[in-house]
Amino acid sequence: MFSRTVIVSASNASHHAKLLDDLAKVRYRLFVETLQWTLPLAKHGRDLDQFDDERATYVVVVDLQGNIRAAVRLHDTTGPTLLTTVYKHLVAGEVPQSSWIWEGTRMLVHPDLPPADSAIAFGELLSACVSYGLSKGIECWVSVSDPTLERALRRAGAATRRLGPVIEVEAGVKALALTLDCDVATLQRIETGLQRLRASRAGNHQLVA
C-alpha cells in the first residue's frame, strides 16, 4: 500500500479544506457512531471542537487517492489543551506544559482498513509524528488515551509512561493520560516494526507539507 503523510497547520489549511472536512467526518464516524463517545460539539456528521483552532496541526496519512488512512491532531502545550482544561483530573500532579511538550488528540486509524493495513497505517502515523516532532525540537508528547490504545502504542515501539490512574470518564469509557518519548531511538523502533509489517508488500511513504 502506497501512502504519504500530509502536515496541515494554519499556514496551509486553506489548501487542504477537503482533507480537513473528510477528517472531521471520519472522526465523527469513529468516535461518535462507533465508540459512542459523548461529544457535545460534534454535529452534522462531523466531529469538531474548540481545539480545532488555528493552533492545531494535523498529521494525516493518506493513500495515493487522498483517502485518509490514519490521523492525529497536535497542539503545543503552552496554551490550553485537552489535558489542561477537560481531563486534568487524569494527571496525578501538574499537567506537563512546555514549548517542547506537545499534545496529541483524536488519534485514529480509518475503521474500514483491514487489520494488516490498520497496523501499517498506525505505524506510519507514529513514524510521521515522531519525525515531525524531531524537526520541531519536540522532546515529549502527552495524550489522553485508553488502555487499548496504550497497548497499541507500545506494540508499535512507542515508549509510554502513565501520568495518573485509569479513570472511567463516562459509562463504559476508560481513559488515562500518557507521555510518549519523541527521540531518535523511538523512531528507530517504530521504523523497525514497520519494516516487519511491510515485509510481504511494497511500500512507499513520503512526508509532505
Domains of the chain (ranges, CATH numbers): 2-208 (3.40.630.30)
Prediction pTM value = 0.92
Q: 3-state DSSP call for residue 203?
A: coil
CA-closest candidate to residue 76, choices 136, 27, 145, 1: 136
| Chain segment 109-158, per-residue pLDDT in tens | 999 999 889 999 999 999 999 999 999 999 999 999 999 999 999 999 99
β 167-170/140-145 pair status: unpaired
Give the cell for residue 94: 501538574
What is the spatial distance between Cα 134 and Cα 82, in angstroms, rounded to a whole number? 22
Grid cell locating 139: 522532546
Instruction: Quote the cell numbers at residue 112.
Output: 474500514
* Residue 99 pLDDT class (50, 70, 90 cuts): very high
Average per-residue pLDDT in the chain? 93
Cα 97 from Cα 104, distance rounded (Å): 13
